[in-house]
Structure 1
Amino acid sequence: MKRIVFLDYIRIFACFLVMLVHASENYYGAIGASDMAGPQSFLLNETDRLWVSVYDGFSRMSVPLFMIVSAYLLVPMKREQSSGQFYRKRFMRIMPPFLIFMVLYSTLPLLWGQLDGASAWHDLSHLWLNFPSLAGHLWFMYPLISLYLFIPVISPWLERASAREERFFIGLFLISTCLPFLNRWLGDAWGQCFWNEYHALWYFSGYLGYLVLAHYIRVHLAWSQARRLRIGLLLTVAGAAATILSFYVQATPGVVLDTPTLEVGWSFCTLNCVALTTGAFLLFSLIRQERTPHLVAEISRLSYGMYLMHIFWLGLWVSVFKAALAWPTAAAIPAIAVCTFVCCVVATKLISLLPGSKWIIG
């Protein structure tokens, strides 16, 4: 398959944003030097409130960008490909590295005292149920696996659906992205109650909406470069502003806060995040290079392994910039993310030189 150049740039950008999100979490949800956000949040001061809102809020497009890139490339499934062939190809690429890193996150932290034996055994014995306690970022793999499982189901519809039919689906998806706000301020909606979580738009909600949106952009969106630029900028700025402000206005320094409440506008399937993600994707689609520069293509190829391993490096750089050097928050968060990113590039590149490296880093 010929490389789609702008998607390589998006992979790198989204991978860095994931690291920026997790660097930011150390300034509002962390108890220790390398913890990510937990059920409760605490901001020390107004400076942390501002910069966490900006860096983390803007970066909330990271996960949806990965979803759109995967869908842009994979849907609809090739006609000559059976469901079994599709599953085998996709899962042989993502599952072995995923499982290896699940084990690594359950064992390696024993070496530097971040895990005790009981916790390590608990994590290992529960890997069939969920990700390890020190690898919260691996939650992403489960909705990705779900989308892969669903692609053969939705592909026949996407092959024959008209642009209008896809817009209808996307419209219902966009309405469903308002539900977190309705639940927050008005309570249960559209059939929800304590015995029923499946609201009226349940089957049009979640990351499936990004999958259909990606297909619509690739197949039906025939906008000029100028129009993509205008609308892309508008959506990016509006989405970023709403996402940043949704956290900032609630984040009172010096008070213990409920994280899900504080992050209500940071859920990846909210209207503001959809706008932010769609706008950024449209802006990247303006890249019209014939070939991907070698360095960009190489980092894009390594991005899956970088995502898997980055928490190992993140804790190190948090201890440097937050604890040892005590840099100002405005500088420390991007410094942590940049150093983590560079270490991941180097580490994954070195691993890629080993025989059978695809089973480790994809």
Structure 2
Amino acid sequence: MKRIVFLDYVRVFACFLVIVVHASENFYGAAGSTDMAGPQSYLASEAERLWVAVYDGFSRMAVPLFMIVSAYLLVPMKEGQTSWQFYRQRCIRILPPFFIFMILYSTLPLLWGQIDGETSFTDLSRIFLNFPSQAGHLWFMYPLISLYLFIPIISPWLSKATAKEERFFIALFLISTCMPYLNRWCGEVWGQCFWNEYHMLWYFSGYLGYLVLAHYIRVHLTWDRSKRFTIGLIAMVVGAVWTIYSFYVQAIPGVTHSTPVIEIGWAFCTINCVILTAGTFLMFSCINLPKAPGLVTDMSKLSYGMYLMHIFWLGFWVTVFKQTLAFPTVAAIPCIAVSTFVSCYVTTKIISFIPGSKWIIG
């Protein structure tokens, strides 16, 4: 298959943003050098409040960008391809590295005392149920797999749907992304109650909306390059400001906060995050090059392995820049992110020379 050049840039950008998010979490999340944000958050200073909001808030498009890239390439399924053929290809591509890294995250932290034997055994025993305790970033794999499972089901509709029909679906999806705010301000709505979480737009909500959006952009959007860039830039700026401000306005320094409360605008299926993601993707789609630089293409191919392993490297660089060198937050977060990104690329590149490396890094 011929590579779609701008998607390589999107993959590399999204992979880096994932690392920025997790670098930022070390400045407001749970204690510990490699812990993700926990149920409670604490910002020690105004500087941490500002720069966590800026770096982390802007980077919240990372997960949706990965979803859109996958959908852009895979939806609808190839003509004549069966569901089982599709599932087999996807399983071979993502599941072996996924399970290998779940085992690694359940065992390797024993070597440096991050977990004890009991935690390791528990993580290993639950490997078919959920991600290990030290690999919170692997939550992403489950909604990604769910999208793969649903692609054969929605492909026949997308193959026949008109632009107007897809816009109707996307409109309902956009309304559903307002639910976090509606619940905050209005309580339970549209049939929600303590015995029913499935509100009226439940089946139009979640990452499925990004899948349809990706297909609409690829098949039905007829804007020229200039219009895509202009509207994309406006949407990106609006979405970024909204996403950043939603955290900043709530995250008062010196106060212990409920993480889900202050991260309300950081959920990946909120209206502001959709605007941010769609705008950025439209801007990237304006890249009109016959071929990407070799480094970009190589990083794109290795991005899955880089994502899987980055938490291992992140802790080391957090120790260096946050603790040993004690950089200010404005510099520490990007330094941690860049160093982790480069380390992951070098590591995955070395592994890629090993015969059968696709089973380890994809």
TM-score range, shorter chain: over 0.9
SS at match of 2:275: helix
Aligned to 1:324: 324
Which residue does the alignment assign to 2:141? 141
Contact kept in structure 2, 1:19 and 1:340, CA below 8 Å:
yes
What are the within-5 Å matches in structure 2 for residues 44-55 of structure 1? 44-55=44-55
Match in the other structure for 1:119: 119
Give 2:350's aligned amino acid: L
Match of 2:308 in 1: 308
What is residue 37 of structure 2 aligned with on the other side? 37
Residue 130 of structure 1 aligns to a residue whose secondary structure is: coil
| Corresponding residue number in structure 1 for 2:69 | 69
In structure 2, C-alpha distance between the alignment counterparts of 1:249 and 1:296, rounded to whole Å: 37
Whether 1:109 and 2:109 are equivalent positions in the alignment is yes
Q: 2:114 corresponds to which letter in structure 1?
A: Q
SS in 2 for 1:257: strand
* Deviation at residue 132 of structure 1 after TM alignment: 0.2
Residue of structure 1 equivalent to 2:4: 4
TM-fit CA distance, 1:289: 0.3
Deviation at 1:291, TM superposition (A): 1.2
Distance 1:74 1:207 in 2: 15
Aligned to 1:175: 175
What residue in structure 2 maps to residue 216 of structure 1?
216
Residue number in structure 2 paired with 1:199: 199
Q: Are residue 349 (structure 1) and residue 349 (structure 2) matched?
A: yes
Shift of 1:128: 1.2
Q: Distance in 2 between matches of 1:322 and 1:68?
A: 33
Q: C-alpha deviations, 1:103-148, integer Å up to 9, x for none?
A: 0000000000001000000100111110000000000000000000
Q: Alpha-carbon deviation of 1:225? A: 1.0
Give the AA of the match of 1:309: M
Match of 1:128, SS state, is coil
Q: Partner residue of 1:226?
A: 226
Asked if the contact 1:305–1:348 (Cα under 8 Å) also holds between the matched residues in 2, the reply is: yes
Q: Which amino acid aligns with 2:242?
A: A
1:14 alignment partner in structure 2: 14
Aligned AA for 1:11? R
Residue 221 of structure 1 deviates from its aligned partner by: 0.2
Unaligned runs of 5+ in 2: none
Q: Secondary structure at the match of 1:31?
A: coil
Deviation sequence 1:161-181 (CA, Å, 0-9, x none): 000000000000000000011
> Deviation digits for residues 197-220 of structure 1, max 9, x if unmatched?
100000000000000000000000
The one-letter amino acid paired with 1:122 is T
For the Cα contact (< 8 Å) 1:6–1:288, is it kept in 2?
yes
Deviation at 1:292, TM superposition (A): 1.9
Contact 2:9 2:300 in 1 (8 A): yes
Letter in structure 1 aligned against 2:239: G
SS at structure 2 position matched to 1:41 = strand
Question: 1:34 deviation in Å?
Answer: 2.0
Structure-2 residue corresponding to 1:245: 245
When the two chains are superposed, the root-mean-square deviation of aligned CA atoms in Å is 0.5
CA deviation vs aligned residue, 1:313-361 (integer Å, no higher than 9, x gap) = 0000000000111000000000000000000000000000001100000
CA-to-aligned-CA distance 1:63-103 (integer Å, 9 cap, x gap) = 00000000000000011110000000011100000000000
**What SS class does the counterpart of residue 7 from structure 2 fall into?**
helix
* Partner secondary structure for residue 49 of structure 1: helix
Match of 2:27 in 1: 27
Q: What code does the residue aligned with 2:93 have? A: R
Cα distance, 1:33 vs structure 2: 2.0
Once the two structures are superposed, residues 152-199 of structure 1 have per-residue CA deviations (whole angstroms, 9 ceiling, x without a partner) of 000000000000000000000000000011111211111011110100
CA contact (8 A) 2:30 2:40 kept: no
CA drift at 1:30: 2.8
Tell me the distance in 2 between the aligned counterparts of 1:120 and 1:195: 36
* Separation in structure 1 between the aligned mates of residue 346 and residue 75 of structure 2, nearest angstrom: 32
Off by >4 Å, runs of 4+ in structure 1: none
Please say if residues 180 and 264 of structure 1, whose CA atoms lie closer than 8 Å, have aligned partners that are also in contact: yes
Q: Deviation digits for residues 282-304 of structure 1, max 9, x if unmatched?
A: 00001000112211111100000
**Aligned match of 2:187:** 187
Q: CA deviation at 1:229?
A: 1.2
Q: For residue 225 of structure 1, what is the amino acid of its counterpart?
A: R
Quick one: distance in 1 between partners of 2:117 and 2:62? 34
Kindly indicate whether the alpha-carbon contact (under 8 Å) linking 1:34 and 1:319 is maintained by their aligned counterparts in 2: no
For residues 190 and 200 of structure 1, what CA distance do their matches in structure 2 show?
A: 5
- C-alpha distance after superposition, 1:39-63 (max 9, x if no partner): 0000000000000000000000000
| Maintained 8 Å contact 1:265/1:272 | yes
Q: Distance in 2 between matches of 1:184 and 1:310?
A: 34
